[in-house]
Amino acid sequence: MSTMDFNAMDFVTPQIMHGPVLLGDGTIQWNVWVTRSDRVSLVLMDADHVVAEVPMECRGHGLFVSAPRKVSEEQRYGFRLGDGSVRPDPASRWQPDGVHKPSAVWSPDSFQWTDRRWKGIPRTDLVIYELHVGTFTDERTFDAIIPRLPALVELGVNAIEVMPVAQFPGDRNWGYDGVHPYAVQNTYGGPRGLQRLVDACHQSGVAVILDVVYNHFGPEGNYLNEFGPYFTDQYLTPWGSALNFDQAGNEGVRAFVLENVRYWVRDFHVDGLRLDAVHAIFDSSPCHILREIKEVADEEAARRGWPVQIIAESDRNDVRLLDKPEKGLGLDAVWSDDFHHAVHAFLTNERQGYYVDFGSASHLSKALNQSFVYDGVHSVFRGHSHGTKANQHSGDRFVVCIQNHDQVGNRTRGDRFGTILSPAKQRLAAGLLLTAPHIPMLFMGEEYGETRPFPYFCSFLDQQLVDAIRRGRTEEHAAEDSASEGFDPQAESTFDKATLGWAWPDDSHSAGLRRLYRDLLSLRRRWPVFRDFHNRRADLFPSSDSPQVLRFVRAATIPHAAGAMVAYFNMTGREQQSECAHHHESGLIFSSEASRYRGQRGPDEPVQSLLPYEFQIYGPTCWKQL
588 in Cβ contact with 603 (< 8 Å): no
**Which of 49, 94, 47 shows the shortest CA–CA distance to 73?**
94
Instruction: Tell me how far apart the alpha carbons of residues 408 and 411 are, in angstroms, rounded to a whole number.
Output: 6
C-alpha distances in angstroms, 450 versus 404, 426, 454, 497?
Answer: 13, 11, 10, 12
Closest CA to 407 of 315, 280, 333: 315
Residue 450 catalytic?
A: no
Identify the CA nearest to 100 among candidates 221, 19, 186: 221
Question: Whole-angstrom Cα distance, residue 318 to residue 326?
Answer: 16
**At 182, is the secondary structure helix, strand, or coil?**
strand
Indicate if 313 belongs to the active site. Answer: yes
Alpha carbon 425 to chain centroid distance? Answer: 25
CA atoms within 13 A on the CB side of 32: 33
Q: Tell whether omega for the bond before 437 is within 30 degrees of 0, i.e. cis.
A: no
Nearest one of 438, 392, 440, 406 to 532, comparing CA atoms: 438
Q: Identify whether the C-beta of residue 570 lies closer than 8 Å to the C-beta of residue 612.
A: yes
Angle, CA of 66, 67 and 71, to the nearest 5°: 95
- Using H for helix, E for strand and C for coil, what is the string for 466-480? HHHHHHHHHHHHHHC
The letter for the amino acid at 553 is: V
Distance (Å, whole) CA 139 – CA 165:
16
Confirm if 457 and 486 have CB atoms less than 8 A apart: no
CA distances to 5, 249, 284, 286, 322 from 246, rounded to whole Å, are: 31, 8, 6, 9, 22
Helix (H, G, I), strand (E, B) or coil at 269: coil
Give me the catalytic one of 130, 283, 313, 332. Answer: 313
The residue annotated as part of the active site, out of 211, 259, 276, 446, is 276
Is the peptide bond prior to 191 cis by the omega test (within 30 degrees of 0)? no
The answer to whether 121 touches 271, Cβ cutoff 8 Å, is yes
DSSP string, 295-346: HHHHHHHHHHTS--EEEE--SS--GGGTS-TTTS---SEEE-HHHHHHHHHH
DSSP state for residue 45 in the 8-state scheme:
E
In the chain, the amino acid numbered 603 is P
Query: Catalytic amino acids?
Result: 276, 313
